[in-house]
Amino acid sequence: NIARTALAFDLGAGSGRAFAGRLIQGEGGSRKLEVTEVHRFPNEAVQVGEHLHWDILRLLNELKKGIRLCRQMGFEPTTFGIDTWGVDFGLLDANGELLGNPYHYRDPHTDGLIEEIHALVGAEALYRESGLQFMPFNTVYQLYAMVKAGSPKLEIARTLLLTPDLLTYLLTGIRSCEYTMATTTALFDPARREWNKPLMERLGIPSEMFLNPVSPGTIVGSLSESVARELNAPKLQAVAVGTHDTESAIAAVPAQGGGFAYLVCGTWSLLGTELLEPLLTDEARELEFSNEGGVGDTFQLLKNIMGLWILQECRREWEELGERIGYAELAERAERAEPFRSLIHPDDARFFGQGDMLGRIREFCEETGQLAPREPGEYARCILESLALRYRQALEQMEKLTGAGFAGLHMVGGGIQNKLLCRFTASAIARPVWAGPVEASVIGNMLAQFIATGECRDLDEARRLVLDSFPIETYAAEAAESGWVEAYERYAAYGRANA
């Protein structure tokens, strides 16, 4: 008995996926969510001269294909939602045409701008008014890079659309701005809950381009006439979900009530806890925590930590060198490698960029007087152990900031398929890890659609559905796996001052 079918698009920096989600009505009021993958496609950034761009029209084609495939597979979704990485955007002119190709958040055009903007407006003020840790790709730095480059696009732009809103617009013709993405820009004031127009004016960023945000769980509208005709799908409606992938993933954490700690694991690691108000203290700034708007009127106090990106880049390099190593094999080799031989600080700036990751890891080890990894197993072990130690550090910082004590850590997202990472994390934090669901962003995306159409009353009820529908694996902190306490002390000495 299918109560409703939703279609979720979840676009990550490396690939995109479309899933159909069926809400099944069981006996006695019980309900379950069943998700099926209907399409998967690579998302390849394109280097154009000095700049790195998203291939946005290709992504649009893949979304259309996803809608077609979904229906060909026999699903009949009435709504769809799109979530993507944060911060990036496209600009529309007065005729509603897209101005150029959106920049990729790893484009180097923001290099040095954190310092420059801080000198202009003050780091303290910027943090109080944005609640975001200072990451070079935040929208504010990207737009300021365009201001500084004298970009003519800014002169003729009328509307700024963040990536998920842009893709929704290309499918529906409707311009909208979803709240969780808006809070990743650093141009949105979380305390006042409005765009920070004075800041935009000071930086020369045209403030008329920004639309009023709508809450996740709002129906945006139908496919445009031309798209509906092309896809023969006149009834499909777009929903503004938690369009920031991280927020969709958090919405799918199978916990009840607030006060839990979570880690969204993928290219990035987002470790945080759910609050009802932003925490904008000096200490939160110094410890580099963000306050991001979440689904269900929440604020997510979280730290953006480098994630499996480092390992993904290593794999890409091995492949270029002619050695293709699957994740399963890599995990086995890491398991056999010597523990704690080499440790890195994952958030050292050198690990952010693309390319030469093996060299950078070796360089870090040499600079800190450690033996460097020699083969893939050792590299993988180094990365996974270092991430786990970094998670312990962030978890303890979060306890300090909030005064809360966390009994364990919920891990969600694609990265939890790496069981070694889950196990290491449980050992590093000396607390249990509850892992699941893997498809958190997709599921959270669907939950916001169910909130929009009235199937779920609120976030708590939606999370209940996750608990009832997906298995959760528990990793106990293995006291026998010793060495983690000493390793943490060694690791802590390699980190930056306190963050």
Which residues are identified as catalytic? 245
* Number of chain residues interacting with ligand LFR (CB under 6 A): 12
How far apart are the C-alpha atoms of 416 and 414, rounded to whole Å? Answer: 5
Contact 316, 327 (CB under 8 A): no
The reply on whether position 87 binds ligand LFR by CB under 6 A is yes
Candidate ranges 30-38, 83-91, 367-375, 392-400; the one touching ligand LFR (CB under 6 A): 83-91
Contact 278, 260 (CB under 8 A): no
* Interface of this chain with ligand LFR, residues 225 to 254, rule: CB under 6 A: 244-246
The reply on whether position 308 binds ligand LFR by CB under 6 A is no
How far apart are the C-alpha atoms of 125 and 314, rounded to whole Å? Answer: 38
The reply on whether position 86 binds ligand LFR by CB under 6 A is yes
Of the candidates 194, 195, 213, the one whose C-alpha atom is nearest the C-alpha of residue 203 is 195
Among 89, 195, 268, 299, binds ligand LFR (CB under 6 A): 268
Candidate ranges 51-59, 84-92, 311-319, 362-370; the one touching ligand LFR (CB under 6 A): 84-92
For residue 94, the surrounding DSSP H or E stretch is: none
The reply on whether position 357 binds ligand LFR by CB under 6 A is no
How far apart are the C-alpha atoms of 298 and 246, rounded to whole Å? Answer: 13
Q: Which is nearer to ligand LFR, 292 or 455 (CB)?
A: 292
Q: Which is nearer to ligand LFR, 227 or 271 (CB)?
A: 271
Candidate ranges 45-53, 150-158, 208-216, 265-273; the one touching ligand LFR (CB under 6 A): 265-273
Beta-strand relationship, 261-265 and 218-222 = unpaired
Q: How far is the CB of 221 from ligand LFR (least distance, A)?
A: 25
The reply on whether position 391 binds ligand LFR by CB under 6 A is no
The reply on whether position 270 binds ligand LFR by CB under 6 A is yes
Contact 383, 260 (CB under 8 A): no
How far from the centroid of its chain's Cα atoms is residue 424's Cα?
22
User: Residue 188 forms beta bridges with which residues?
Assistant: 195
The reply on whether position 304 binds ligand LFR by CB under 6 A is yes
The reply on whether position 301 binds ligand LFR by CB under 6 A is no
Q: How far is the CB of 444 from ligand LFR (least distance, A)?
A: 13
Of the candidates 491, 483, 490, 493, the one whose C-alpha atom is nearest the C-alpha of residue 430 is 483
The reply on whether position 295 binds ligand LFR by CB under 6 A is no
Q: How far is the CB of 368 from ligand LFR (least distance, A)?
A: 27
Q: What would the x/- binding string for ligand LFR be over residues 91 to 110, using CB under 6 A?
A: --------------x-----
Contact 217, 265 (CB under 8 A): no
Q: How far is the CB of 184 from ligand LFR (least distance, A)?
A: 7
How far from the centroid of its chain's Cα atoms is residue 469's Cα?
23
Candidate ranges 42-50, 107-115, 264-272, 420-428; the one touching ligand LFR (CB under 6 A): 264-272
How far apart are the C-alpha atoms of 156 and 106, rounded to whole Å? Answer: 25
How far apart are the C-alpha atoms of 98 and 90, rounded to whole Å? Answer: 7
Q: Which is nearer to ligand LFR, 105 or 494 (CB)?
A: 105
**Token match 């003020």: residue?**
125
Q: Helices 419-429 and 327-336: crossing angle, nearest 10°?
A: 40
Exposed (0-12), middle (13-18) or buried (19+): which is 82, by Cβ within 10 Å? Answer: buried
Instruction: Using alpha carbons only, give the angle 270, 272, 277 rounded to the nearest 5 degrees.
Output: 130
Q: How far is the CB of 303 from ligand LFR (least distance, A)?
A: 10
Candidate ranges 63-71, 80-88, 231-239, 395-403; the one touching ligand LFR (CB under 6 A): 80-88
Contacts with ligand LFR by CB under 6 A lie at 85-87, 105, 244-246, 266-268, 270, 304
